[in-house]
Every structure is written in C-alpha cells, then in structure tokens.
Amino acid sequence: MEDKIFLLVKVTVKTTHSHIQAAIQELQSKTDLKVGSTKKVKVLKTEIMQLKTRTH
C-alpha cells in the first residue's frame, strides 16, 4: 500500500533575524531532512512543506 503521512517537527531556535518569518524561510530552504525506511516501511519521498509566511 502507498500513502502519504505527515510528521510534525518541533524546532526551538535562537536567531539574529529581526523577523521570525525570515528565520523560518531560511530554515525551510537550507534544511537537509532524512527520514529512513524500516523493515516494513519504505520511505519513497520526503519534503519540507513550505510554510506561507507573511512578508515584512
């Protein structure tokens, strides 16, 4: 069976950005994410879903 699941990741950050949206955008574009397969679950694709942040 093939299906899509959503895993949430909680990240605590300290940043010098003046707007948190800039920090979020930077992390979204520069994060390397790996979700490994198990014996019974083969990971086919992973991606960070882009959060629509407001512009400042």
Give residue-wise pLDDT tens across range 2-17.
999 999 989 999 999 9
Q: What is the mean pLDDT of residues 31-51?
A: 92
For residue 19, name the pLDDT band (cuts at 50, 70, 90).
very high
Cβ–Cβ under 8 Å, residues 44 and 1: no
Q: How many whole angstroms separate alpha carbon 18 and alpha carbon 56?
A: 10
- Domain locations along the chain: 19-51
| Mean pLDDT, rounded, of the chain | 90
Whether 55 shows a pLDDT value over 70: the answer reads no
Q: How many whole angstroms separate alpha carbon 20 and alpha carbon 56?
A: 10
Q: What is the pTM of this model?
A: 0.68
Percent of the chain with pLDDT over 70: 93
Element (H or E) spanning 20, and its range? helix 20-30
